[in-house]
Amino acid sequence: MTDPLPTTETEAAAELEALAAEIGRHNHLYHNDDAPEISDAAYDALMRRNAAIEAAFPQLVRADSPGRQVGAAPTGHLAKVAHARPMTSLDNAFADEEVAEFVDRIRRFLKLAPDEPVALTAEPKIDGLSCSLRYEDGVLIRALTRGDGQVGEDVTANVLTIGDIPRRLPGDTPAIFEVRGEVYMAKADFTALNARLAAEAAETGKEPRQFANPRNAAAGSLRQKDATVTAGRPLRFLAHGWGEASALPGDTQSSVVAALRAWGFPAADLFATAATVEDALTLYRRIEAARADLPFDIDGVVYKVDRLDWQQRLGIVGRAPRWGLAHKFPAERAQTSLLAIDIQVGRTGALTPVARLEPVTVGGVIVTNATLHNFDEIARLGVRPGDRVLVQRAGDVIPQIVENLTPEAAHPPYVFDCTCPACGSTADREESEVVYRCTGGLICPAQRVERLSHFVSRHAFDIAGLGQTLIEAFFHDGLVAAPADIFRLTEEQLAARKKDGRVWAGNLIAAIDAKRRVPLDRFLFALGIRHIGEVTARDLARRYVSARALGAMLRGAVHLHHATQPQIGEPERKFVLRRDRLLVARIDTAGIGPEVAHALIGFAAERHNRDAVYDLLRQVEPLDVVHEVRESEVSGKTVVFTGTLETMSRDEAKAQAEALGAHVSGSVSKKTDLVIYGAAAGSKLKKATDLGVRAIDEAAWGEIVRAAE
């Protein structure tokens, strides 16, 4: 967990509340709908976060804390029946040390000597759903799902269709005995079932029902109202415990499991006992190594205290027994083939490469694509379509490629052609960045809504009554695709959208018309060019004064840009742009900086963008910047700033002087009228003194400025 814990009670209580709601929602999706939205690892991370906050703020533990609950209360169509003994969950461990702590806790609880051995059983943790089978006088009379641990769903009819489950126990068995275990679906059966469902759907022309993983398939198949559906599903059963029992056929976990086997229940082949923590961990690794070859999905190893008298004393705390622990496996990995690399375009134009994979089950979920983060990652992994790759799902829901398993040069290298797949514009990146962005901001379908919303926003065109929601609606209805379209909207079009919409339409058109003349800086800012925020837009506007002058400069720059591009071909060509110092130098003045220069040229070099701007210029007129000059004692004079100014930047000082009608020069000569010096002023100040030029400090300059206000 990387996020720091909340520091105040208020924050902690708020987060616990949010977690309870979120985890509750996922419990419902997982346990009742068999349709989880997040991975188990992501779910476990939420639970751990909840537990960590509860440990830091024990007074805030909620009555409905997810840490106290088992599963989810059943809500479906099946009859709800109370359990004779609660069906619990298990505490989780992820690291080896946690297993040692588990045994230490048991020793402390039972007040055992430190060297007293605590024998544990170890067995795979099957990814299915638990089920309790009640036998009375050796006959199966009821089967219940776990539900919320107190109340389960009656699935007796369904369970009778499962071949692994005996209907009747042989010979002399206790009068009452509840066998508990997992109903699961084998991996191969799961794949076949999904294929069958797809084929059936294709025949009837319906949308196929596909299960995300074997666990969901098992749960969805068992919890059917119509047991004949269950009968057609390849469900299996593994016994691992018991509930109410009038007598027990042994005094250890292992001897009871052996009896269950003798009665005809399948139990895990990899079941074993361990005398020490080290032995338990050895079993864990053995089971982990066997994992991929097991016919069913498992997500960890379950340890239980072998002695039943100790289990009895240890009892249950909250949602789980003190005598059991689920030691989960780390993120699962799997091999598959990289079919293709696609590029997704985000709402702000960022391009993300996505790996299309041959479907593979990783950690119980079918994975068909993985993120590659960015193009550097593709280079780092050296992956090419056709390669075998190692895929992993970690705490994150999005799977990732961790390694390329195909030797060098087996397939042609992946080449990114630096164009946006959504609009065909050039994609560019800055030297300091790894992310490529589409430069077709105004025309790129992936970015349009975002750009249009920006265009009408408060600091841009600021059109009264035209916000994001309306712009989105106009876009979806095909009324507005580019900024210029806003100015082509008609009252008739708008009025037709609302009942009695005349007045509204009239007002909106008037508000739009009122913005047909806007200050140049707003116009520039509204275009949504990267790095051109409000301040930079204002700087650019001040420097170029008119749209015409700015346009002329850009035309020149773009012409030069195209002329300096080597002829088509290698991808590098397209970003020569950002290395072209000469070009950038043309606009990299007045503190505008190379990043802004690159962004501007990149934008202007794109024909679609130019067309969109010309189209807009037929509708609106950007107003020239009028430099207001105030009369002051320095009007018409030449001033020089030197040294380090304390209260303002050099740029601001220069702007101040210009606003007062002064000319700012960089060097001191006989023509200089005034030198303003800051700290550590050197040769210029000396020269001024030598030439007899008047020199004042920053504070005195401040007085001149204030006097002119």
Ligand X SMILES: NC(=O)c1ccc[n+]([C@@H]2O[C@H](COP(=O)([O-])OP(=O)(O)OC[C@H]3O[C@@H](n4cnc5c(N)ncnc54)[C@H](O)[C@@H]3O)[C@@H](O)[C@H]2O)c1
Q: Where along the sequence are the contacts to ligand X (CB under 6 A)? A: 26-27, 29-30, 36, 38-40, 43-44, 70-71, 89-90, 92, 123, 125-126, 130, 146, 182, 240-241, 302, 326
Residue 518, C-beta contacts closer than 8 angstroms, at least 6 positions apart: 461, 526, 620, 621, 622, 623
420 is in an annotated binding site: yes
CB 393 within 8 A of CB 369: no
Check if the beta carbon of residue 450 is closer than 8 Å to that of residue 504: no
CB of 71 to ligand X, least distance (A): 6
Q: Which does 143 bind (CB under 5 to 8 A by kind): ligand X, Zn ion, none?
A: none
Do the Cβ atoms of 643 and 668 come closer than 8 Å?
no
Q: Which is nearer to Zn ion, 303 or 375 (CB)?
A: 375
Asked if 685 touches Zn ion (CB under 5 A), the answer is no
Query: Any binding-site annotation on 289?
Result: no
Contact yes or no for 463/510 (Cβ under 8 A): no
Nearer to ligand X, 133 or 443 (CB): 133
Q: Which does 440 bind (CB under 5 to 8 A by kind): ligand X, Zn ion, none?
A: Zn ion
- Tell whether residue 146 is among the known ligand binding residues: yes
Residues 420, 524, 597, 613: which binds Zn ion (CB under 5 A)? Answer: 420
Question: Please, is 115 exposed, middle or buried when counting C-beta atoms within 10 Å of its C-beta (0-12, 13-18, 19+)?
Answer: exposed
Q: Confirm or reject binding of residue 438 to Zn ion (CB under 5 A).
A: yes
Q: How far is the CB of 43 from ligand X (least distance, A)?
A: 4
Q: Of these partners, ligand X, Zn ion, none, which one is at the site of residue 125 (CB under 5 to 8 Å by kind)?
A: ligand X
182 labelled binding-site residue: yes
Segment near Zn ion (CB under 5 A); pick from 7-15, 267-275, 413-421, 646-654: 413-421
DSSP per residue, 178-207: EEEEEEEE-HHHHHHHHHHHHHHHHHHTPP
**β-bridge mates for residue 622, sequence order:** 518
Q: Is 438 annotated as a binding residue?
A: no
Min separation Cβ 420 and Zn ion, Å: 3
| Catalytic entry in 111, 125, 187, 670 | 125
Does 440 help bind Zn ion (rule: CB under 5 A)? yes
Strand 694-697 to 674-677 pairing = parallel
To 10 degrees, what angle do helices 448-456 and 468-476 make?
140
DSSP state string for 645-707: -SSS-HHHHHHHHHHTTPEEESS--TT--EEEE-BT--HHHHHHHHHT-EEEEHHHHHHHHHH
Least distance (Å) between residue 24 CB and ligand X: 10
272 carries a ligand binding annotation? no
Pair 297, 187: CB distance under 8 Å: yes
Tokens of 558: 């773009």
- Binding status of residue 351 toward Zn ion by CB under 5 A: no
Which residue of 423, 620, 640, 668 would you call a contact of Zn ion, by CB under 5 A?
423
Nearest alpha-carbon partner for 376 in 431, 316, 328, 322: 431
From Zn ion, ligand X, none, interface partner of 174 (C-beta below 5 to 8 A by class)? none
HSE of 275 in the Cβ direction (CA atoms, 13 Å)?
Answer: 3
Residue 419 binds what, of Zn ion, ligand X, none (CB under 5 to 8 Å, by partner type)? none
Which residues have a Cβ under 8 Å from the Cβ of 250 and sit 6 or more positions away?
256, 258, 259, 308
Nearest-approach distance from CB 373 to ligand X, in angstroms: 24
Q: Is 444 annotated as a binding residue?
A: yes
Q: Pinpoint the alpha helices (H) of 410-532.
A: 448-456, 468-476, 483-486, 491-495, 502-513, 520-526
Say whether 436 counts as a known binding-site residue: no
Is residue 460 a contact residue for Zn ion (CB under 5 A)?
A: no
C-beta of 440: minimal distance to Zn ion in Å? 4
Residue 420 interacting entry, from ligand X, Zn ion, none, C-beta within 5 to 8 Å by type = Zn ion
Q: Is 635 annotated as a binding residue?
A: no
Binder among 444, 456, 529, 597 for Zn ion (CB under 5 A): 444
Distance CA 344, CA 425 (A): 14
Residue 610 among known ligand-binding residues: no
Please tell me the distance from the alpha carbon of residue 422 to that of residue 431, in angstroms, as a whole number. 23
Binding site partner of 326, from ligand X, Zn ion, none, Cβ cut-off 5-8 A by kind? ligand X
Q: Are 52 and 5 in contact (CB under 8 A)?
A: yes
Q: Which does 657 bind (CB under 5 to 8 A by kind): ligand X, Zn ion, none?
A: none
- Contact of 673 with 639, CB cutoff 8 Å: yes
Burial class (CB in 10 A: 0-12, 13-18, 19+), 697: middle
422 binds, among ligand X, Zn ion, none (CB under 5 to 8 A by kind): Zn ion
In the complex with ligand X, which residue's Cβ is closer, 122 or 350? 122
The entry of Zn ion, ligand X, none near residue 123 (CB within 5 to 8 angstroms by kind) is ligand X
For the bound state, the minimum distance from the C-beta of residue 152 to ligand X, rounded and expressed in Å, comes to 11
| Nearer to Zn ion among residue 394 and residue 422 (C-beta) | 422
- Does position 144 interact with Zn ion (CB under 5 A)? The reply is no
Nearer to Zn ion, 124 or 440 (CB): 440
Shorter beta-carbon distance to Zn ion: residue 165 or 442: 442
Nearer Cβ to ligand X, position 181 or 602? 181
The nearest distance, CB 237 to ligand X, in angstroms, is 12
CB of 215 to ligand X, least distance (A): 8
Q: Is 43 annotated as a binding residue?
A: yes
**Residue 425 main-chain phi, psi, to 5 deg:** -70, 165
Sign of the torsion formed by the C-alpha atoms of 486, 490, 496 and 502: positive
* CA 99 – CA 276 distance, rounded (Å): 11
Residues in Cβ contact with 572 at an 8 Å cutoff, skipping those fewer than 6 apart: none
Binding of Zn ion by 422 (CB under 5 A):
yes
Judge whether 683 is annotated as a binding position.
no
CB of 217 to Zn ion, least distance (A): 40
Q: Which of 624, 627, 626, 620 is nearest to 461 (CA)?
A: 620
Kindly tell me which of 121 and 425 has the beta carbon lying closer to Zn ion. 425
Stretch that binds Zn ion, among 76-84, 159-167, 189-197, 415-423 (CB under 5 A): 415-423
Q: Which is nearer to Zn ion, 325 or 343 (CB)?
A: 343
Is 111 annotated in the active site? no
- Please, what is the angle between helix 9-27 and helix 40-56, to 10°? 150
Q: How far apart are CA 427 and CA 352, in angstroms?
A: 11
| Residue 123 annotated as lining a ligand binding site | yes
The structure tokens 């050099």 sit at 650
Residue 614: partners with Cβ closer than 8 Å, 6 or more residues away: none
> Which residues contribute to the annotated binding site for Zn(2+)?
420, 423, 444
> Which residues contribute to the annotated binding site?
40-44, 89-90, 123, 146, 182, 304, 328, 420, 423, 444
> Which residues contribute to the annotated binding site for NAD(+)?
40-44, 89-90, 123, 146, 182, 304, 328
Interacting residues with Zn ion (CB under 5 A): 420, 422-423, 425, 438, 440, 444
Residues with a known catalytic role? 125
